[in-house]
Amino acid sequence: MATLNILILVCLGYVVLLFGVAFAADRMAAAGRGKWLRSPLVYTLSLSIYCTAWTFYGAVGNAARSGLEFVTIYLGPTLVMVSWWWGLRKLVRVGRSQRVTSIADLLSSRYGKSNTLAVCVTILAVLGGTPYIALQLQSITLSFSIFAEADPSGLYREGSSVFWVATGLAVFAILFGTRNLDANERHHGVVTAIALESVVKLFALLAVGVFVVWGVAGGMSPMMDRIDASEIGRWNVDAGRWTTLIFLSAAAFVCLPRMFQVMIVENDDEGHLRMAAWAFPLYLLLMSLFVVPIAVVGLDLLPEGSNPDLFVLTVPLSQGNDWLAMLSFIGGFSSATSMVIVTAMALSTMVSNHVVMPIWLNTQEGLGSISGDVRNIVLMARRVSIAVIMALGYFYYSLSGGGTALSSIGLVAFAGISQILPALVGGLFWRGATRTGALVGLTVGFVLWTYTLLLPGMGGVWMPETVMQNGLFGLGWLRPQALFGIEGMDPMVHTVMWSLSLNTVAFCITSLFSFPSPLERLQGAQFVNVFDHSATPRGWTGSVAQSEDLMIMTQRILGAGPAQEFFQTEAEQQGGRSRLPEPTPGFLNRLERELSGSVGAATAHAMIGQIVGGSSVSVEDLLAVADESAQLLEYSSQLEVKSAELSRTARKLREANTKLTQISEQKDSFLSQVSHELRTPMTSIRAFSEIMRDTKGLRGTEQTRYAAIIHDEALRLTRLLDDLLDLSVLESGQVSLNVGDDSLRSVLDRAVSSALAGTDEKLAVRRSRASERIPLHTDLDRLGQVFINLISNAQKYCESPDPILTISAHDVGGRVVIDFTDNGSGIPPEAQSMVFEKFARVGVDKAGGAGLGLAICREIMQRLGGEISYLPGQGGGAFRVSLPLAYQQAAQ
């Protein structure tokens, strides 16, 4: 008797084997070896995750209950595969050319990259997927319990085993599904492991079947007799259910997220479909070949009331064939684990790409460019999603108690996920299908499915008996299992019929009456006419692409290490001498696929398009940027930020250019001014010196007078040169300040006396010396220079017959403010803004100043951390000087 311990050991050993296979396959794929990893056989075998534990155990149970009805679940997919030329080929082509990462991504992409739709599909998929995962957990637990019953040690506890199984599966999915950011690319490790598992489960079921037919029943014809003699020995299939289930399984086969993952996303080569088209139906046929014999033998051999869902295990056990039972247990374990792993991966991709990432990107608004963090965020989002999905499955299992027959949960999930079908088929074949139509159709189907199948199945609080009997709000035609008063239908047929037909009707009518956005119409055309648009997925022409730019961008998204590795490998493969690969179309395509794993297909495409430029940036990309109705949520928000950044930069450049032009003009006019100011005194000097040289008999007084003019003009030149020098030193900021301490009063004293010295013009200076007792810590000489300038300006320009200059000082919160007000006419308003500019002179220059004084004052005050300004409306010329009491370096 196989003990539980051996069973657990075998399980662990098997899991270790799977890990090893997955790891080795990943390594081989990374090293570029292992072409068989991409063979059509592996592809076909990976499709067999369609056969879950429900199929493995439940088909026999179903056969034991309803005869041949179980076969419908296989006939649907068979028909889909056989008609690959119609549908799957197109789906795979679209999936590859649009680089979709999940069924939600496909629908969102088709309907104008609508994230709303993607979120809806994701929710539907999670809702449908959770019970399904619970179902797998239950099957593993049940099979454990069969062995536990036979194990005398009885250490087995159901709850904890489920928990550990769930945890183990989550770890596997996280390890191999999110090892690197390749989610929309191929997971060679996982796919290979799944292919192995599918071989194991087929082998196990065939082994049990062979054992039953030849070991127990004694050959083909006795078996056939036994079948006909059994309680299910007559053809007794409900016509409605037969048709409905074939249709339903066909629909679910295409719509299930895990099937989409292995069939479309993991597809390496469209040509693989050719083999899968016959090989996968063959696999299904083999899987179902011995189902009826096992069921019949089980019904015969085992006591009344034993669970037919577990005949695959219990029949060999009852015959004492422990090792066969063990093999079949491993087969069931394989079915459950592979399904759970792929489902978790597919759902986590959907959740992270359509729920977590849009939210995250939205909160990151303003950051603009993508930092290296994105990759960790995506990975983390996927890992957490996997954990959460597994936890959901675990809780669903714990809460539901695992009572329902296995296959009915599976069918409920099928019916739920099939609600996607109208939108999917419509999107592929009908250009008129719109986003609104898809949303309305999905919603109608989803609501009907929930109301007529999901909730009644859960029973209890979720669907009170009164509603079941009398309908919602007591309305008879709203009874969940007899909508519109049509009674007596099988609940499953009832739900599928109503939900899918009303879903389709709503989808079509809404599509007809709504109008698609431009992007939607464009995508619609690309999907429906995919064979016209793309011989192969769109290629890049990278003649102008800059490998270095690509490298920089890739580093920011993938991180430095992986990016460099990727480029290095590419360069080596090209056999080039340079460390960067040439931007060949093949390389660009691979790079885009690499990038789309972390930022999504649309963004990756647009980003490469921006760098590569040229014709490969499709209208679609441009529309994605321009079309405001394309919901901000998805990646377009990034594009918008980028384009805003570009226009900001352009504006800055324009501003800088204008400023440079202005500066250049200012420089020209300054030079011209300087030239004028220098030439004017030179002219007088030259003229009078020539007069004195050439004129004979010049009178003494004339001689003295002309010499005085020459002297004055020479002084004026010197002053001008001094001022220019001073100004240039101040403006260049290289002036060294000589900071000292004194009171404002003594600075003013010195300034007044030196400004008024040596002039005969009378200027009365009025001061309130008491208020000037303010201690200053600043460059006293420079401040004095400003004061002198202001005082002599008043002296020069105040036209009043009795010129008076009033100087008043205030201490205003750490700053001192000094006003110089004269009683002249002041500066006319139009000239006030000009007075501090260089060479700005107001009116006739009486004293021959160069017009640099106030410009110098302004520079000085800026150096001292203060300012000088003209005070309008003071009844005369008025200047205000303000500066901090204590000069600080930082004040500049």
Partner 1 sequence: MTAEGESERKPSGQRPSVFLERQSYRRRRLTDAARLLPFLGAALFALPLLWPGLSAEGQAVPLSSAMFYIFACWGGLILVGLIFGMAARRLRTRDESETEADQWRR
Partner 2 sequence: MSRKVLLIEDEPNIAEAIRFLLTREGWQVQTHGDGVDALQVIRAANPDLVILDVMLPGKSGMDILRDLREQDGMQSLPVLMLTARGQSRDREMAENAGVSRFMTKPFSNAEVLTAVRDLHAQATRL
In three-state secondary structure terms, 802 is coil
In the complex, minimum distance from the CB of residue 419 to partner 1, in angstroms, rounded to a whole number? 22
Tell whether residue 684 is a contact of partner 2 (CB under 8 A).
yes
Helix/strand/coil (H/E/C) assignment for every residue in 341-386: HHHHHHHHHHHHHHHHHHHHHHHCCCCCCCCCHHHHHHHHHHHHHH
Tell whether residue 691 is a contact of partner 2 (CB under 8 A).
yes
Report the residue number, 654 or 686, with the smaller CB distance to partner 2.
686
Q: What is the CB neighbour count within 10 angstroms for residue 274?
A: 14
What is the Cα–Cα distance from 164 to 40, expressed in whole angstroms? 34
Tell whether residue 695 is a contact of partner 2 (CB under 8 A).
yes
Question: Segment 696-715, which members bind partner 2 (CB under 8 A)?
Answer: 709, 712-713
- CB under 8 A: which stretch of 105-113, 280-288, 470-478, 547-555 binds partner 1? 280-288
Tell whether residue 680 is a contact of partner 2 (CB under 8 A).
yes
Tell whether residue 232 is a contact of partner 1 (CB under 8 A).
yes
Q: What is the CB neighbour count within 10 angstroms for residue 46?
A: 29
What is the Cα–Cα distance from 464 to 478, expressed in whole angstroms? 14
289 binds, among partner 2, partner 1, none (CB under 5 to 8 A by kind): partner 1
331 contacts 143 by C-beta, under 8 angstroms: no
Which of 156, 203, 242, 839 is close enough to bind partner 1 by CB under 8 A? 242
Which residues, including other chains, have CB under 8 Å from residue 85's CB and lie 6 or more apart? none
What is the Cα–Cα distance from 356 to 372, expressed in whole angstroms? 17
Q: How far is CA 546 from the centre of its chain?
A: 24
Which of 35, 234, 693, 846 is close enough to bind partner 1 by CB under 8 A? 234
Of 693, 692, 695, 718, nearest to 705 (Cα)?
692
Residue given tokens 């004028």 in the structure block = 676
513 binds, among partner 2, partner 1, none (CB under 5 to 8 A by kind): none
Residue given tokens 């009844």 in the structure block = 875
Helices (H), 401-529: 406-417, 421-429, 435-449, 455-458, 465-470, 491-513, 518-528
Tell whether residue 75 is a contact of partner 1 (CB under 8 A).
yes
150 binds, among partner 2, partner 1, none (CB under 5 to 8 A by kind): none
In the complex, minimum distance from the CB of residue 583 to partner 1, in angstroms, rounded to a whole number? 24
Report the residue number, 268 or 837, with the smaller CB distance to partner 2.
837
The dihedral sign for the CA sequence 562, 568, 571, 572: negative
CA dihedral 167, 170, 175, 180 (to 10 degrees): -150
Report the residue number, 289 or 692, with the smaller CB distance to partner 2.
692
Question: Segment 210-229, which members bind partner 1 (CB under 8 A)?
Answer: 224-225, 227-228
| Long-range contacts of the stretch 221-227 (C-beta < 8 A, 24+) | 223/293, 223/296, 226/293, 226/296, 226/297, 226/300, 227/292, 227/293, 227/296
In the complex, minimum distance from the CB of residue 317 to partner 1, in angstroms, rounded to a whole number? 25
Report the residue number, 683 or 833, with the smaller CB distance to partner 2.
683
Tell whether residue 686 is a contact of partner 2 (CB under 8 A).
yes
Which of 73, 124, 193, 277 is close enough to bind partner 1 by CB under 8 A? 277
What is the Cα–Cα distance from 191 to 47, expressed in whole angstroms? 9
Beta strand pairing call for 878-884 and 804-812: unpaired
In the complex, minimum distance from the CB of residue 338 to partner 1, in angstroms, rounded to a whole number? 23
Give φ, ψ of 544 to 5 degrees.
-105, 0
Tell me which amino acid residue 204 is: A
713 binds, among partner 2, partner 1, none (CB under 5 to 8 A by kind): partner 2
234 binds, among partner 2, partner 1, none (CB under 5 to 8 A by kind): partner 1
356 contacts 381 by C-beta, under 8 angstroms: yes
Which of 78, 184, 806, 821 is close enough to bind partner 1 by CB under 8 A? 78
**Token output for 530:** 């995919």
Question: Segment 816-855, which members bind partner 2 (CB under 8 A)?
Answer: 843-844
Which of 80, 351, 493, 685 is close enough to bind partner 2 by CB under 8 A? 685
Question: Segment 712-771, which members bind partner 2 (CB under 8 A)?
Answer: 712-713
227 binds, among partner 2, partner 1, none (CB under 5 to 8 A by kind): partner 1
- CB under 8 A: which stretch of 237-245, 593-601, 843-851, 853-861 binds partner 1? 237-245
686 binds, among partner 1, partner 2, none (CB under 5 to 8 A by kind): partner 2
What is the Cα–Cα distance from 712 to 423, expressed in whole angstroms? 96
Which of 155, 239, 770, 812 is close enough to bind partner 1 by CB under 8 A? 239
Bridge partners of 884, per DSSP, are: 815
**Token output for 77:** 């997919």
Tell whether residue 81 is a contact of partner 1 (CB under 8 A).
yes
Report the residue number, 35 or 846, with the smaller CB distance to partner 1.
35
Helix/strand/coil (H/E/C) assignment for every residue in 82-105: HCCCCCHHHHHHHHHHCCCCCHHH
Report the residue number, 225 or 690, with the smaller CB distance to partner 2.
690
Which of 15, 30, 289, 687 is close enough to bind partner 1 by CB under 8 A? 289
Tell me which amino acid residue 117 is: L
680 binds, among partner 2, partner 1, none (CB under 5 to 8 A by kind): partner 2
Which of 67, 189, 803, 853 is close enough to bind partner 1 by CB under 8 A? 67
Which residues, including other chains, have CB under 8 Å from residue 196's CB and lie 6 or more apart? 18, 21
Alpha-carbon Rg for the chain in angstroms: 44
Tell me, by CB under 8 A, how many residues bind partner 1.
40
- CB under 8 A: which stretch of 161-169, 198-206, 312-320, 688-696 binds partner 2? 688-696
Which of 39, 243, 481, 743 is close enough to bind partner 1 by CB under 8 A? 243
Of 890, 885, 882, 864, nearest to 782 (Cα)?
864
Question: Segment 526-555, which members bind partner 1 (CB under 8 A)?
Answer: 531-532, 535
6 binds, among partner 1, partner 2, none (CB under 5 to 8 A by kind): none
- CB under 8 A: which stretch of 99-107, 199-207, 255-263, 678-686 binds partner 2? 678-686
- CB under 8 A: which stretch of 273-281, 375-383, 440-448, 537-545 binds partner 1? 273-281
Q: Give the N- to C-terminal CA distance of the chain in Å, as an integer.
A: 91
Of 336, 327, 320, 312, nearest to 64 (Cα)?
312
In the complex, minimum distance from the CB of residue 310 to partner 1, in angstroms, rounded to a whole number? 22
Report the residue number, 123 or 691, with the smaller CB distance to partner 2.
691
Tell me, by CB under 8 A, how many residues bind partner 2.
22
71 binds, among partner 1, partner 2, none (CB under 5 to 8 A by kind): partner 1
In the complex, minimum distance from the CB of residue 681 to partner 2, in angstroms, rounded to a whole number? 8
321 secondary structure, DSSP code: -
Report the residue number, 84 or 527, with the smaller CB distance to partner 1.
84
DSSP 43-66: HHHHHGGGS-HIIIIIHHHHHHHH
Which of 682, 707, 715, 725 is close enough to bind partner 2 by CB under 8 A? 682
Tell whether residue 488 is a contact of partner 1 (CB under 8 A).
no
**Token output for 880:** 């205000």
Chain residues that interact with partner 1, rule: CB under 8 A: 67-68, 71, 75, 78-79, 81-83, 85-86, 224-225, 227-228, 230, 232-237, 239, 242-243, 246, 271, 274-275, 277-279, 281-282, 285, 289, 292, 531-532, 535
Chain residues that interact with partner 2, rule: CB under 8 A: 672, 675-677, 679-680, 682-688, 690-691, 694-695, 709, 712-713, 843-844
